[in-house]
Amino acid sequence: MKKLVINNARQDVTFTHEHVAYEIYRRAGLPQVISAHGVMTLNDKPYGLYVMEEAKDTAYLQKWYGNGTGNFYEVDVVDFADGWTDPVNVDLKNDDDTESGPPDMSKRADLQALAEAVKAPDDQFLGAIKEKLDLDHFITVYALDALLSHWDGPMFNTNNYYLYRNPADNRFVFVGHGIDQAFDVDFDPLQVPKLLLAQRVRAIPELDLQWRDAMNWVMENAWDNTVLFPRIDKVVEIAGQVKLTSEAVGRDVALVQQFAAGVKNLLDGRKAQWLAQPF
């Protein structure tokens, strides 16, 4: 690794949502960051427990996709199909020109082409989107976001996602992140998505069926609580070994211990919903 991302988990008092969600991603066969936990100390002052993650950079892309040279966009609070020209909310990470002046839109021609494919007429959509996007990969990402209750992600809030044009086939893949508010069993996976691309998938019967099949496959094969629960137990075990060197550290360790059972209940709850009524 060249970088390490540290998250104070203030939007996830359990400290385990991302840890478990990314495990489910990987078990579903999709690249996703590895994560761990540690105490952050700065100038000899311990600031508490943090979630540590593999950074999404060229090293990550090389590791998971075999090549880190493709255009890599970080997208926040916007649907890329409408906002692909926005250099603030659609940040071309490997573009070194934005600091010295206006972004060069020609460098975004690949994302423009994907946006146009998303908006293609009904009779042209499927051919156009398959040429620019790894559609099978996208449908699995969409299935995971729905099951994980990732309400603040790309599908349901056009937020917290990356787009990478994989040089292996020159097609885009979605890379999720920021899954720190997840596992709400009251979240309806079948609700209408906000992302236009996801809406178009749902509007085509064969793709809607593929998406539902992907959710069922994930629940049957990747959502294995006999594997996920020990990951949570390990976090609790590690937290219990931390020296309580400050009030902040003691607070965070107590939160991990307090909420571990609740996270397991949420994982069990989603599994029970699926067993009662597969998607």
At residue 97, the pLDDT reads 45
At residue 2, the pLDDT reads 82
Q: What pTM was estimated for this model as a whole?
A: 0.95
d(CA 156, CA 150): 8
E strand or H helix that includes residue 49: strand 45-54
pLDDT of 174 higher than 70: yes
Express as a percent the part of the chain with pLDDT over 90: 94
pLDDT of 45 higher than 50: yes
At residue 100, the pLDDT reads 57
Hey, what are 96's tokens? 């070194």
Domain ranges in the chain are 4-276
Kindly report, residue by residue over 116-150, the tens digit of the pLDDT. Answer: 999 999 999 999 999 999 999 999 999 999 999 99
Q: pLDDT band for 1, please (50, 70, 90 cuts).
A: confident
Kindly report, residue by residue over 220-239, the tens digit of the pLDDT. Answer: 999 999 999 999 999 999 99
pLDDT of 279 higher than 50: yes
At residue 96, the pLDDT reads 54
- The amino acid present at 37, given as its one-letter code, is H
Kindly report, residue by residue over 75-112, the tens digit of the pLDDT. Answer: 999 999 999 999 999 999 986 544 556 778 899 999 99
Q: Do the beta carbons of residue 251 and residue 8 sit within 8 Å?
A: no
At residue 101, the pLDDT reads 63
Whether the CA torsion 170, 216, 267, 79 is positive or negative: it is positive
pLDDT of 26 higher than 80: yes
At residue 99, the pLDDT reads 54
| Residue 63, SS3 per DSSP | helix
